[in-house]
Structure 1
Amino acid sequence: MIQLVRPLAALVPLLAWLGPSLSARPAAAQALFQAVDVDQSKFVIVSAPIGDGSRAQLNIYEQRSGARPCFSVQGSAPTEVNPLLSSFDFTGICNRFIDGNGYSVRVGNSDLGTVYRLSVVKQANDTLLMALPTKPGAGPEMVVARSGGASSSFLLLVPEPGWKLMRRQFGGRVLGHVYLY
């Protein structure tokens, strides 16, 4: 899969905004949840069409076992995703994360799920996954992933350089929540 390295320059505005709040929080609060690496090849980040396809929402699919494929991909720029898991009982085979209960934004030690929401934004020639602040002054808008083209189908969203998926962990236990990190 694509080697991802977070460019420092892209994080400077967010870290400057987070700086005062990070130092004001006790260390225990910052580390309530940890983020652990996942095998990126087992996941796809998807722009899933709503209704006629003029709008879309974020879905993340995970292949947990090799019993049956959960998704297939075809084409490029944009790459279409076939959500095969919608055609069978995927219990124990696939995970599907379809809302803020299943995913959130994290930067460093900060879980930003309460101050950022992830939203799929369709443009004329691209589809973007944006991290949007939930309150004025909460921080900058961030492009997290993009499709590389436009379509009303299920589209693969490729993380921007420096972004990847990680899993939430609490007290050494891996949880059913993923971070866009």
Structure 2
Amino acid sequence: MIPRSLSIAAGLTVCGVLAAPVALAQGSVFQAVPVDEANFILVSAPIGQGERSQLNIYEQRTSKRPCFSVSGGAPAMVDPLLSTFDFTGICSRYIDGNGYSLRIGGDDLGTRYRLTVVNTGSDMELLAAPTRDRSQPTMLVARSGGVASGFLKLSFEPGWSLRRRAYGKKGLGHLYIYRDTAPQS
């Protein structure tokens, strides 16, 4: 018969060994797969009376009807046409942290960074700001190239792209604002 203290120690060892791969695999549950960025647009969308803005991402899923139009230069104005018709099956829109998050390489930073649109006075900037550890850097992700009222197109800074969250081979309804590696400060 095995002494009780030895069986408890053995059980804890087995649990530790079995639990370790689960903890390590957490970051790799989802993959980040490339998308055709021509079908997407990042938008600085006004909130309420327009004093603040938030990130919206619109996706053109079929050519049945345009989901948005873009006009002008810097900044480029966006007309969210999808707000004028039932866009089910034609367009997708991602308007908050349920629809998009930050990912760098294999690390999903959705709980550690918040994507926020900031008016600098001369530009609208999409920033990835740390939510927990304020000693981590704030990263410039995209900018509009100027300030105006209304919906403005945001263009990625070099190194950033869109990816779709996938589980196995199945693409999910969540996008990543993605970089292979963190930008150098």
TM-score normalised to the size of structure 1?
0.84
Q: CA deviation at 1:138?
A: 5.8
Which structure 1 segments of 5+ residues have no match?
Answer: 1-24
The root-mean-square deviation of aligned C-alpha atoms, in Å, is: 1.2
Deviation by residue 1:13-51 (Cα, 9 ceiling, x = unmatched): xxxxxxxxxxxx954222111000000000000000112
Q: Which residue in the other structure is 1:69 paired with?
A: 66
Which structure 2 segments of 5+ residues have no match?
Answer: 1-21, 179-185
Deviation by residue 1:94-138 (Cα, 9 ceiling, x = unmatched): 000001000000000000001001000011110000000001346
Q: Which residue in the other structure is 2:100 paired with?
A: 103
Mapping for residues 80-95 of structure 1, pairs under 5 Å: 80-95=77-92
Which of 31, 34, 44 pairs up with 1:34?
31
Q: Which residue in the other structure is 1:148 paired with?
A: 145
Worse-matched range after superposition: 138-147 or 96-105? 138-147
Which of 154, 159, 178 pairs up with 1:157?
154
Q: CA deviation at 1:171?
A: 1.9
The count of corresponding residues between Structure 1 and Structure 2 is 157
Choose between structure 1 and 2 for higher RCO, CA contacts under 8 A separated by at least 6 residues: 1
Mapping for residues 160-179 of structure 1, pairs under 5 Å: 160-179=157-176
Q: Which residue in the other structure is 2:12 paired with?
A: none
Q: Distance in 1 between matches of 2:26 and 2:39?
A: 30
Specify the structure having the higher radius of gyration (Cα).
2
Q: Distance in 2 between matches of 1:56 and 1:107?
A: 24
Question: What SS is found at the alignment partner of 1:177?
Answer: strand
Deviating 4+ runs (over 4 angstroms): none
TM-score normalised to the size of structure 2?
0.82
Q: CA deviation at 1:52?
A: 2.1
Q: Distance in 1 between matches of 2:129 and 2:80?
A: 26
Q: Distance in 2 between matches of 1:107 and 1:176?
A: 19
State the identity as a percent: 60
Could you tell me whether the CA contact under 8 Å between 1:54 and 1:152 is conserved in 2?
Answer: no
Q: Distance in 2 between matches of 1:121 and 1:34?
A: 29
Kindly provide the amino acid, as one letter, of the partner of residue 77 in structure 2.
E
Answer yes or no: is 1:56 the counterpart of 2:62: no
